[in-house]
Amino acid sequence: MATFFGEVLSVFSRAVEDEDGEELVEDEEDEQIRRELEEKREVHLHWNSEVSESLQSGNKLQCSDFILAVGHNAASFLSVYVLTSSSWETVGHVSVWNERTKASTGQSSKESACVFHRNKDDPSVLICQVFCYIADDQLFQWTEKVFACLQHRGLNVTVLSDCSVTDYMTADHLCTSSAPFLRSLHTGVFSGRTACPSLEQPNIITGLSASVLNHCQVYRIAAVVYQCYSDVNGPDSVSMETFKPALAKLGKSIQLDSSPSTDVLRKSVQTTDIKSNLYI
């Protein structure tokens, strides 16, 4: 699609699949390759022995608050402000393989891409940090598999997610000083007030936060997504701070660290690879 100024935009909703009528005829080998790829792209959940035992005996995870952080700013925010206290234990992770998974990464970094933490004092509070990319065809499966482990009664879902301010549409032109800012979107059964204005039409959210919100809307689970629109390319401490009011809403179940650990902060900000060497 081209704008009135002639530059070509790739607009999400206009993606058209050109099958060109004919469906490809597959031979046995093609089919095998396709099947193997599909298997490789499957989403796997790994819980620690205690959780998996209880899941196997048919008991779902008793969870009052599930906090999901998608993207570097959101996930690092939890690392810096919440997970620094000693009351959190790692209880599991999700492994996902797709076209953006780096071939050279070892087991350890793969495991740290989607991690579950549980509060030791209040085991009904569960946190999941998602640092990695999850492909379109894996989002639904990720959501179904994770929510299949959680008890739905009394469950409150909070999703923190970040994206670029260029994805935000508004009739008033944004001045550069307004970013980063927060917008929310919640399911029908969510009661209470959100910590920020609601996402205005025609803006939409996509990716894992959309997938989780769809699931919660359809199965009537109280859920809210806080989307941070940031103008910095990569994790930064100012964008992370915008999530503070969102978690403050949760009250007692989550304790925010008033003085974030600078070491953890430095580490999380440094994790982005330098993409260009032009100005080095």
Partner 1 sequence: MKMFIASENSPSFFKEFTLVMPAVAVGNVAQLAVDLIVSTLNMKRVGYIHTDCLVPMAGNNPYTTCKEDAEELHTPAEVYSAPELKLAILQIRAPVIPTKSKKFRQLIVSWIKSSGFSRTVLLSSSHAYQRDDQQLQGTPLRYLVTPSLLKVSEDVLKELGWREMERVPVFPGVTDTNAEPHLCIPGGGITKGLFTDSCSEDLPLAVLLLFCSEGDNIPDAFTLVNHLNDWLHLLDNPSQEANKWKIPNSWRLLFGSSVPSALF
Please report, as ranges, the residues that interact with partner 1 according to CB under 8 A: 1-4, 9, 13-21, 23, 136-137, 139-141, 144, 168-174, 185-188, 198-211, 213-215, 217-220, 225
Closer CB to partner 1, residue 60 or residue 145?
145
Closest CB 84 distance from partner 1, rounded Å: 31
Closest CB 280 distance from partner 1, rounded Å: 32
Q: Which helix (DSSP H) or strand (DSSP E) does residue 158 occupy? A: strand 156-164
Amino acid sitting at position 42: E
Closest CB 187 distance from partner 1, rounded Å: 5
Q: Which helix (DSSP H) or strand (DSSP E) does residue 79 occupy? A: helix 72-81
Closer CB to partner 1, residue 91 or residue 155?
155
Closer CB to partner 1, residue 11 or residue 274?
11
237 by DSSP, 3-state: which?
helix
Closest CB 208 distance from partner 1, rounded Å: 8
Closer CB to partner 1, residue 148 or residue 263?
148
Closer CB to partner 1, residue 11 or residue 280?
11
Closest CB 154 distance from partner 1, rounded Å: 19
Q: Could you give the CA distance from residue 96 to residue 44 in angstroms, rounded to a whole number?
A: 7
Closest CB 66 distance from partner 1, rounded Å: 17
Question: For the purposes of burial, counting CB atoms within 10 Å of the CB of 47, is it exposed (0-12), middle (13-18) or buried (19 or more)?
Answer: middle
The secondary structure of 112-148, three-state, reads CCEEEEEECCCCCEEEEEECCCCCHHHHHHHHHHHHC
Q: Could you give the CA distance from residue 130 to residue 69 in angstroms, rounded to a whole number?
A: 6
Q: Can you spell out the DSSP letters for 46-57?
A: EE-HHHHHHHHT
Closer CB to partner 1, residue 113 or residue 185?
185
Tell me which residue of 240, 242, 246 sits closest to 223, measured CA to CA.
Answer: 246
Closest CB 119 distance from partner 1, rounded Å: 28
Closer CB to partner 1, residue 13 or residue 258?
13
Exposure b/e, 5-19, CB count within 10 A at least 16 = b? eeeeeeeeeeeeeee
Query: In whole angstroms, how far apart are CA 252 and each of 64, 121, 132, 153, 249?
Result: 12, 12, 29, 19, 9
